[in-house]
Structure 1
């Protein structure tokens, strides 16, 4: 079950978390359980998070130099089945059937080989909370002939009585095969049936005996099950980190977040298919309100999703997709955008935002976390919207929680808040960009996107607000009369200090 204080499933899909989780190459059903039921760490389990990050780092440091040994471990993982239900049945006193006994024997044999590979890697000295314990007694119990073959049946060696019954049954079967007298064959078949019943009774007694003995090792078997799942999950996390060039996050003791060159793998993958490159995100935020402004084509939403994704990954015990990251353990992470699931359930965009915001604010009164609002109040009229956003920024600025708000409204930030702007088009030669568009008007949007600088810059109140929205209208060839009216209104607002 998903912890809704760390985004619901829809929001995890939005920010690219589900994409990352689906990239994990877990092999065993035990590792897959951990992947599906991943839970966030918190302040009280910070030491466990540190252990998790140390474990990933140890595997990464050893993976390339010991690739064949890891391949051997992964090959053994392919043989693992989830025997948890069989253990429960055994614990409850039910005799296990031949298939269940076969699977437990196979598991014990895999653990035998896994221990050898694991010991050869010397990872037991570096990986915490992974402990493969010998299941030799279980192997001996289920492999009385000592052949260590991945097969199982009720062996004659378990019982002299069983051996005698089977010998007599086989002898009768030979007589049936060689006899040509129908009356004699009928009599022999009845006799054989009585031995089949005796054989089944004795086999049941043996399965009861084996099940009762296995019960003595259930805790050890479960410890091995847990270790298999955890190692599988850790290796998957480590391989993903190597593949996507992740790095270890620093865990902050204060409400302070720093991301340097953060990447969103899902968006980066989409852009790569279009032969485009993801622009990394660099930002520092702390308690109170931070505002990001910029035109609607400026990538503010992707910036927020990239930030939230990497913070959530840290909280879940992953390495992050940044060159450097400093992130605290939070009590909650909220991400509110105008693409809320509630909209698809019939609630208006603005109504859905307000309902979610009420929940966020109630939780933030006694907890510290991250509140991220993407273009809040975009769905209402601009004047009211700007007043609401400004009011909300002032309120959130008093909290210990970290709040990050993207908006295209002007005059939202005051001197007590941190302000970032998307650089956008302001560093470009406007005339030369317009010439490029005039020569290829059918691809005007793509040309603007290719030249847009999606990086953030920290700005002061004295910085001029970029006119990207107005410039985009000019570049796309909006009627000149409309452009002139907009310019006049813009200049007028500057003169009035609005």
Structure 2
């Protein structure tokens, strides 16, 4: 939960991104499934990870053939980790396990040669392939380098003699017409079969013991294959989405320039609708994002949370520029909480989650996103709670972003962003377009909605887009007229409600 649960990660678009991460090897797949955030003390490791991805993204097109050769080899890799564990424990390996280790060593030998030459110019750090030719020579005593394995005669003179005698008997059996003689010959052959099995077992035990001394080297190459696979996958993901390397700050500050959410962008582009990039700068304390419903506040929060999460996990982020620190936690609270399905109301689920968040802010520094908090209670009481919560969060060392459609939440010492919405739209022109095409009225409104953020004065009121949208969608005039009276009546009295 500290860095979002499975459902929240899916909600913000993380699952969509990870599904686009094409790991090739079983080792890379495991790294993908078990990605852990970097901790405060791991800053150098995070910077190294990001630098390695940058080296891949800047060299991928220029050295595309080399990358293809590496990926071709990685695609052949089988998961030999169980066999390696058995070898570590000196459990005798069978022919299939010895074959798979031989295949792994053959791939390692070719990868060792390609990668070492390639990395002289790229200089990826933390990945090293070691020579496994001694193991390969053990499993390929005739040096044929064929993708097969068998217990060769050359492993043992005794085995060679046993097999020679067995073959002679098999020839005699094949050409004999004497049934009694055939029975006797088969009994003799069975003796050699038993001796052959015993000798092969001795050889497999010997091979297992000899390979055991190279287990650490094999494990290193397994790790390096997985890590290289994972880094290339991260690099290709970054190239596919034109992602950027974030700057890791030592201060509690977050900046995104032209950031986007790939899942939302994909959905919008499938409808021929452009995604509005998000620009935002935050620091310790709270920032409030105001705007009416349909204004894109939730998408803004999900975009920020997604990119912060990816950054903590060592990915390039979806933005032209990004700067943020290593965080101790990321919390995202919306009205789509799992606790709702467990019997709590939306508001109750939010409060339970909020208690955990507040406890973390007392001892750690992280990021908190609250999407329309307290929307599930009555508006006046909800606005009081949101205002109180924002004032408290503004005293913490964590960074918080609260989206709300309530007015009078922001105080002078808080950052205030407002979704542009329909602010710069000619209302009458938009109304005429909808009259001419009523069946697509919602799509027309969304096309004209400006989802970008502007930093505004704390005295700015939440735009009354909800009323305008109601009018555009054809809500009965008698209802609109009543609503307008309430809007204007309360416009000058709103501040009094908080005194």
Give TM class, smaller chain. over 0.9
CA distance in 2, matches of 1:401, 1:125: 38
Out of 2, 7, 11, which is 2:8 matched to?
11
Q: What CA RMSD, in Å, does the superposition of the two structures yield over aligned residues?
A: 1.0
User: Any runs of at least 4 consecutive aligned residues in structure 1 with deviations exceeding 4 A, and if so which?
Assistant: none
SS of the aligned residue for 2:254 comes to strand
Count residues with an aligned counterpart.
Answer: 495
| Aligned equivalent of 1:376 | 373
CA distance in structure 1 between the aligned counterparts of 2:461 and 2:91, rounded to whole angstroms: 77
CA contact (8 A) 1:124 1:131 kept: no
3-state DSSP class of the match of 2:78?
A: coil
Q: Using the TM superposition, give the Cα deviation of residue 186 of structure 1 relative to its aligned residue in structure 2, in angstroms.
A: 1.1
Matches within 5 A, 1:353-364: 353-364=350-361
Aligned partner of residue 365 in structure 1, secondary structure: helix
Confirm or deny that 1:392 pairs with 2:389.
Answer: yes
Map of 1:75-474 to 2, 5 A cutoff?
Answer: 75-123=72-120, 126-474=123-471
Q: Cα distance, 1:124 vs. partner?
A: 7.4
Contact 1:426 1:466 in 2 (8 A): yes
Q: Deviations over 1:357-383 (max 9, x none)?
A: 111111111000001100111111111
Say which of 45, 50, 70 aligns to 2:47: 50
Residue matched to 2:478: 481
Runs (5+) with no aligned partner, structure 2:
none
Distance in 1, Cα, partners of 2:392 & 2:119: 54
Aligned-residue offset at 1:492: 1.7
2:487 and 2:345 map into 1 onto residues whose CA distance is 31
Deviation at 1:465, TM superposition (A): 3.2
In the alignment, does 2:498 pair up with 1:492?
A: no
Alpha-carbon separation, structure 2, partners of 1:396 and 1:234: 37
Q: Deviations over 1:72-99 (max 9, x none)?
A: 1000011111111111111112110001
Which of 70, 74, 99 aligns to 2:71? It is: 74
In structure 1, distance between residues paired with 2:462 and 2:379: 17
CA contact (8 A) 1:53 1:318 kept: yes
Matched residues in 1 for 2:212 and 2:466: separation?
A: 71
Q: Is the 8 A contact 2:59 2:122 kept in 1?
A: no
1:495 positional shift: 2.1
Shift of 1:497: 4.2
**SS of 1:279 mapped into structure 2:** coil
Distance 1:113 1:155 in 2: 24
Kept after mapping to 1: 8 A contact 2:405/2:462: no
Rounded Cα–Cα distance in structure 1 between residues aligned with 2:431 and 2:122: 62
Residues 366 and 124 of structure 1: is their aligned pair in 2 closer, same or farther, counting only changes over 3 Å?
Answer: farther
The unaligned stretches of length 5 or more in structure 1 are none
- Structure 1 CA distance, aligned partners of 2:461 and 2:389? 23
